[in-house]
A and B are shown apart, each in its own frame.
Chain A
Amino acid sequence: MNTQTTHSHDGLRDDLALISNWITPGARVLDLGCGDGALLAHLQAHKQVSGYGLEIDADNVIECVAAGVNVLQLDLDAGLEQFEDNSFDFVVMSSALQEVRRPDELIDEMLRIGRDSIVTFPNFGHWKPRISLGLRGLMPVSGSLPNRWYDTPNIHLCTVRDFETLCRQKQVDIVRRHVVNHAHRSNIGMRTFPNLLGEIALYQLRHHDTA
Chain B
Amino acid sequence: MTTHADFPGSVGLVEPQTLHVDGPMPLDCGKQLSQFDLVYETYGRLNADASNAVLICHALSGNHHAAGYHSEDDPKPGWWDKCIGPGKMIDTDRFFVVCPANLGGYNGSTGPHSAHPETGRHYGPDFPVVTVGDWVRSQDILRAALGIEQWCAVIGGSLGGMQVMQWSIDFPDRLRHAVVIAAAPKLSAQNIAFNEIARQAIVTDPEFHGGRYYEHDVVPRRGLMLARMLGHITYLSDEAMRAKFGRDLRDGRISYGFDVEFQVESYLRYQGASFVDRFDANTYLLMTKALDYFDPAHAHGGDLAKAFAPVTARFMVISFTSDWRFAPARSREIVDALVDAGKQVSYAEVTSDLGHDDFLLTMPHYVNTLRAYLNRAAVEIGA
What is A's interface to B at a CB cutoff of 8 Å? 52, 58, 61-62, 64-66, 68-74, 82-84, 87
Contact = CB atoms under 8 A, between A and B. Distances in A.
Contacts of A64: 346
Interface bracket on B: 20 to 34
B347 A62 contact: no
B376 interface: yes
B25 interface: no
Q: Which 9 A-B pairs have the closest CB atoms?
A: A66-B372, A65-B372, A82-B336, A72-B347, A58-B365, A73-B349, A73-B348, A65-B373, A71-B346
B340 interface: yes
B351 A58 contact: yes
B344 interface: yes
Given A82-B332, A82-B339, A70 B346 contact: yes
A58 B369 CA distance: 9
A54 to B, nearest CB: 10
Interface in B356-377: 365, 368-369, 372-373, 375-376
Nearest to A64: B346
8 contacts: A52-B339, A61-B369, A62-B365, A65-B372, A71-B348, A72-B345, A73-B347, A74-B349
Of listed B346, B369, B372, residue having the most chain A CB within 10 A: B346
B316 interface: yes
Interface string B330-358: 00100110011000111111110000000
A64 B372 CA distance: 9
A82 B337 CA distance: 9
A62 B372 contact: yes
B347 A74 contact: yes
B338 to A, nearest CB: 10
A83 to B, nearest CB: 7
Nearest to A84: B340
Interface SS, B side: helix
Nearest to B374: A65
B342 to A, nearest CB: 8
Contacts of A70: 344-346
Contact of B316 (A65, A74, A87): A65
Given A82-B336, A82-B339, A84-B340, A66 B376 contact: yes
Contact of A65 (B335, B339, B346, B349): B346
Contact of A58 (B340, B347, B348, B376): B348
B344 A66 contact: no
A72 B346 contact: yes
Nearest to B333: A82
A68 B335 CA distance: 17
Contacts of B350: 58
Nearest to A75: B349
Given A62-B368, A65-B346, A72 B376 contact: no
A101 to B, nearest CB: 19
Given A62-B365, A84-B340, A71 B376 contact: no
A71 B373 CA distance: 11
A68 B350 CA distance: 19
A66 B379 CA distance: 11
Contacts of A66: 372, 375-376
A19 B329 CA distance: 32
A53 B316 CA distance: 14
Of listed B340, B368, B369, residue having the most chain A CB within 10 A: B369
Nearest to B375: A66
A74 B349 CA distance: 8
A65 B369 contact: yes
A72 B346 CA distance: 5
B331 to A, nearest CB: 10
Contacts of B348: 58, 61, 65, 71, 73
Contacts of B365: 58, 62
B276 to A, nearest CB: 39
Of listed A58, A66, A82, A87, residue having the most chain B CB within 10 A: A58
B59 to A, nearest CB: 23
B109 to A, nearest CB: 33
A113 to B, nearest CB: 11
B350 to A, nearest CB: 8
A58 B347 CA distance: 11
A49 to B, nearest CB: 13
Nearest to A30: B339
Interface in B114-132: none
B103 to A, nearest CB: 34
A84 B369 CA distance: 27
Given A69-B346, A72-B335, 6 more contacts: A58-B369, A62-B368, A62-B372, A64-B346, A72-B347, A74-B349
A61 B346 CA distance: 9
A61 B369 CA distance: 8
Contact of B347 (A68, A71, A84, A87): A71
Contacts of A74: 332, 347, 349
Interface string B27-69: 0000000000000000000000000000000000000000000
B165 to A, nearest CB: 17
Interface in B298-333: 316, 332
A77 to B, nearest CB: 14
